[in-house]
Amino acid sequence: MDRICKNCGSQLATENYFCPNCGIKQPEYSSEEIETKEAHGQIQEQRDTAEGDIDFQKINGKLKVKNSQQKAVVISLIVSLAGVILTYLTFTEGSPLYKAYAVTLISIFIVLAGLIVALILRSRAKKMKTLISGENVIASWQLSDQKKSEYASFLFQNEKEKNKAILLITTVLIVIIFGIVILLMGEGRGVMFLMMVALIAIIAAFALGMPAYYRNKNLNGDGVILIGRKFAYINGFFHNWDFPLSGIQKVKMIEKPFHGLYIKYYYFDRTLKNSEELNIPASPEIDLGHIVKQLKEK
């Protein structure tokens, strides 16, 4: 007896515990099917092997996942190349930048920064590739437009409130510092005041504009979710917790702000310990319990 996948509509054989097309766990067999298969000793064997039989590379191919990190590598290398050209021009007679050694220093910095960023992103691109190929993926699914909208709205509200608090604290500090300087100045107080206002305006535009920018990015994202043991790709954004002194701090199923998966991971950098929280929407058909179990395994 053939069945239909509840998630993607593909035809399934009776023994399919996971959909071979989208990887989603399927409902339990009917009582009649269970009796028939238990009589032949088939059910447990099928369940034990079903997960390993999922071809995530095929599934991800259908999801049309692109390696966004690879594009970033190319951009970084182009920036480095531009720095090399600028450096060359500062040593070329007849060039408008000839002997502009300040530009030389800046361009060398651009070259080095671009190369370092390219190396970092190249490493991330390789990790992303293992998700797309299915090598390190635990689960993958596609967000509906409604889920994607819920996700984008949640991130927008969350980041907006966070940035408002940071903006308030930053503004107070700027006013205090500039206020003291203005009081101590004999001349040029008006110019200093205008500089203070301009600085606050720039920071405010950034703090209030970035949440809107990322909301738009998420609304226009590919809607693809790839979950790996140490990486995750969420609607166009790549996250990884495979650094030294890093890992998953908490993982669980959630119902608020939407049904889905919650992952909190930590890492150490020059500012010591940091953490990131991921709230990942999912449809009810996704076997989140299985994913949580996999992520908790060492």
**What confidence tens digit (pLDDT) does each residue in 198-215 have?**
999 999 999 999 999 999
Nearest to 52 by CA among 260, 295, 294: 294
> φ and ψ at 129, to 5 degrees?
-60, -35
Alpha-carbon torsion, ordered 196, 200, 205, 206, to 10 deg: 110
In angstroms, the CA 107 to CA 79 distance is 10
Average pLDDT over the chain, rounded to an integer:
83
Angle at 250 between CA 247 and CA 254, to 5 degrees: 140
Selected residue with higher pLDDT from 37 and 196? 196
Check pLDDT > 80 for residue 248. Answer: yes
Identify the helix (H) or strand (E) that includes residue 224.
Answer: strand 224-228
Check pLDDT > 70 for residue 270. Answer: yes
Check pLDDT > 80 for residue 51. Answer: no
In angstroms, the CA 145 to CA 269 distance is 36
Burial 107-122 (b: 16+ CB within 10 A, else e): beebbeebeebbeebb
In angstroms, the CA 82 to CA 94 distance is 19
- In the chain, where the domains are located: 3-54, 64-137, 147-219, 224-296
Angle at 137 between CA 129 and CA 151, to 5 degrees: 95
Identify the helix (H) or strand (E) that includes residue 260.
Answer: strand 260-269
Check pLDDT > 80 for residue 225. Answer: yes
Question: Which residue reads 């290398």 in tokens?
Answer: 77
Check pLDDT > 60 for residue 31. Answer: no
